[in-house]
Amino acid sequence: MALPKLEVPTYELVQPSTNKKIRFRPFLVKEHKVLLTMAEASEEEVARIVKELVDVCTFNQLRVNDLPHFDIEYIFMMLRARSISEKVDVVITCANCNQTYDTSFNIENIKVETNDNFSDKIMINETIGIQMKYPNFESVINVFENENIEVVLKLVQNCIRGIFDGENFYDIKEQTNEEIEEFLLSLTKDQFTKIEEFFLLSPKVVQSIESDCPHCNHHNYSRIQGLQNFFV
């Protein structure tokens, strides 16, 4: 006689980049076992595991390879909340006495923070501009682990949607890698800084934590940002 099949509960969340509701389910035991290997995994393996878990737990309704990094991070944290615990333990360093202490926060309180000055269009000079797109999850993980200038340039190149000059728009897909690299290397430091600001101001998954230091009673305000800081 076949064993009975268990029904897995489903939930809803709002996808940050689209504001659309999507269904998801918690991790199963076999998926949780994979999750436990992430602490020892390389950045490429972490990206693969996270994307696969997000994909299967959202019933393959999302094109995970095309999602911006903050979508992946937010969805993954909601999966963790429903699968393991809403509570995450963290260690805080007091800003007053410099002592460390343990505290915790609720994952479900995390938010995707946006900046009012953010724009996907960057004017390099008075006539030439670049239209950008959000970096994907692999790109962010790679830059976090490797600050090599070649990796940074590759990230920028992968996030360019097109270059415009007046009414002309040059789709990046129609340009060769050599042409794009030559364009980027011809920028001045000030011009490249404008591109860097796109990444600094782009939406981010952020958790604010307020707690009182047990050593000196100082009230600390901390911010956790980036999925790697949530792997607790």
Model-level pTM greater than 0.95? no
How far apart (Å, rounded) are the C-alpha atoms in residues 143 and 147?
Answer: 6
State residue 115 phi and psi, 5-degree precision: -110, 135
Q: Looking at residue 2, what is its pLDDT?
A: 73
Q: Looking at residue 232, what is its pLDDT?
A: 41
Q: Looking at residue 189, what is its pLDDT?
A: 92
Cβ atoms of residues 22 and 67 within 8 Å = no
Q: Which two tokens stand for residue 173?
A: 């897909």
Tell me how many helices (H) and strands (E) the chain has. Answer: 7, 11
pLDDT at 90 over 50: yes
Measured at the CA of 29, the angle between CA 43 and CA 79, to 5 degrees, comes to 60
Amino acid, single-letter form, for residue 176: T
Tell me the pLDDT band of 40, cut-offs 50, 70 and 90.
Answer: confident
Q: Write the pLDDT tens digit of every residue in 111-130.
A: 999 888 899 999 999 999 99
How far apart (Å, rounded) are the C-alpha atoms in residues 56 and 60?
Answer: 6
First to last CA, the chain: 41
Tell me the pLDDT band of 5, cut-offs 50, 70 and 90.
Answer: confident
pLDDT at 55 over 70: yes
pLDDT at 138 over 60: yes
Strand, helix or coil at 108? helix
Beta bridge partners of 214: none
Q: Looking at residue 43, what is its pLDDT?
A: 74
| Bridge-based pairing state of the strands 168-171 and 160-165 | antiparallel
Q: Looking at residue 227, what is its pLDDT?
A: 63
Q: Which two tokens stand for residue 204?
A: 């981010």
Torsion on CA atoms 207, 200, 39, 6, rounded to nearest 10: 60
pLDDT at 230 over 60: no
How far apart (Å, rounded) are the C-alpha atoms in residues 14 and 123?
Answer: 32
pLDDT at 145 over 70: no
Name the nearest CA neighbour of 214 among 105, 96, 89.
Answer: 96
Would you kindly state where each structural domain of the chain is located, as residue ranges?
A: 11-87, 89-109+205-230, 121-201
Least confident range of 32-46, 124-138, 151-165, 215-229: 32-46
Beta bridge partners of 122: 130
Check residues 138 and 204 and name the one with the higher pLDDT: 204
